[in-house]
Amino acid sequence: MKKFLLLVLVLATMLGTFAFANGSKDAASSADEGYTIATVVKIDGIAWFDRMRDGVKKFGEDTGNDVWLVGPAKADAAEQVGIIEDLIAQGVDAICVVPFDVEAVEPVLKKAMDAGIVVICHEAS
């Protein structure tokens, strides 16, 4: 239950961040379109992140935002960086990331922020 509450708190924080950080869309268009939010995990297909996927899906259903969870099939920093690069190219509004290797993803996350994408990093120091 504590893990679920933590996930809900993270998702609520994401929503609050977008309420104040949106500079690329006007209020009318964002209300109609919602936000595109990708969550990038360390490794896809393990129970912890499967549960997170359920929370992300529920968040999307509750808010009408286009949200999804993605991650590499194996714990690989280079694959995670590639996924984030693809999300930048897609022009998502936000990327939430659980980095496999903080130093490896730091440059690509800076690139995302420079592109105006909100970045939320968790489970990292």
What pTM does this model have? Answer: 0.74
What pLDDT is recorded for position 11? 52
What residue ranges do the domains of the chain occupy?
2-121
pLDDT of residue 53: 95
Q: Mean pLDDT per segment of 10 residues, for the chain of length 125 residues?
A: 46 50 47 87 93 96 97 95 98 96 96 98 81
Q: Which CATH number fits domain 2-121: 3.90.76.10, 3.40.50.2300, 3.10.20.90, 3.40.50.300?
A: 3.40.50.2300
Contact between residue 107 and residue 95 where contact means Cβ atoms under 8 Å apart: no
Q: CA-to-CA distance for 123 and 125, rounded, in angstroms?
A: 7
Residue whose C-alpha is closest to residue 11's, from 68, 84, 72, 50: 68
pLDDT of residue 123: 82
Question: Tokens 């309420």 map to which residue?
Answer: 19
Residue recorded with tokens 């996927």: 53
pLDDT of residue 33: 79
